[in-house]
Amino acid sequence: MTERYTFSEDQRDCLQEVINVAIGQAGDALARFLEVFVRLSVPRIQLLGSEELPDLIQKAQFAEDKISAVRQGFSGIARQAVHGEAVVIYSGASHRELVELLGYETSGGIVAEAELLCDVSNILVGNCLSNLARQFDGDAVFSAPSSLLMQRPFYELTTQLSIEWESALLVEIQYALERGTFGCTLMLLMPNEVVAQLGALIDKILDEL
């Protein structure tokens, strides 16, 4: 079993600041796309084993039982090719609220709504990770977003979202709109073998302060 990497207090504080910048830029991009103010939470950073992820998802608090989720792979966050998976989880009827907010036609049905969620996820993930990569002198590369779930019970995400890593770094951020009930959670997952590389990059930033 690979030893799980642990951040020092200084490393965690620095990573928190780096992520704050990235998620703020992502929130701003989403606000400009939707033309409405976007609120975001303080990011939660956690190192966990792969067996802990299903329990974490099951304990998550969603406004309603049914959720939608979009998955997107990424790499190139740093020159050391830090990579992982991004998952955006949408609570309740967020997809319908987006359709109404953007004035889209509703005749496309669930397929069109899933495509809209993929577009919104691409905005969040793309801007967040591009800004994160920029701070580490990297060049982020993304796979095309794909729909994992569409209006399904949230516990089904535990079977759809399987990771093969022994342990991972989880970064979790919640986004909400100033008005309405729209809400989503952005989860970034990176395998343990690249977390140590991330720690080395953080040390470089700390040395330059």
Q: Is the pTM of this model over 0.95?
A: no
Beta strands 146-153 and 44-49 are unpaired
115-147 as b/e: b if 16+ CB within 10 A? ebbbebbbbbbbbbbbbbbebbebebebeebeb
pLDDT tens-place values along the chain, 209 residues long: 556 778 889 999 999 999 999 999 999 999 999 889 999 999 999 888 777 776 766 665 554 568 889 999 988 776 656 788 999 998 877 877 887 887 776 656 777 788 889 999 999 999 999 998 888 888 888 899 999 888 888 777 777 776 677 778 889 999 998 887 788 999 999 888 888 888 888 998 898 87
Residue 4 in any domain: the answer is: no
Number of separate domains in the chain: 1
Residue 150 in any domain: the answer is: yes
Give residue-wise pLDDT tens across range 68-91: 899 999 887 766 567 889 999 988
Residue 184 in any domain: the answer is: yes
The three-state secondary structure class of 124 is helix
Residue 134 in any domain: the answer is: yes
Residue 121 in any domain: the answer is: yes
Q: By residue range, what is the domain housing residue 82?
A: 9-208
Residue 61 in any domain: the answer is: yes
CATH number, domain with residue 109: 3.40.1550.10
Q: How many helices (H) and strands (E) does the chain have?
A: 6, 8
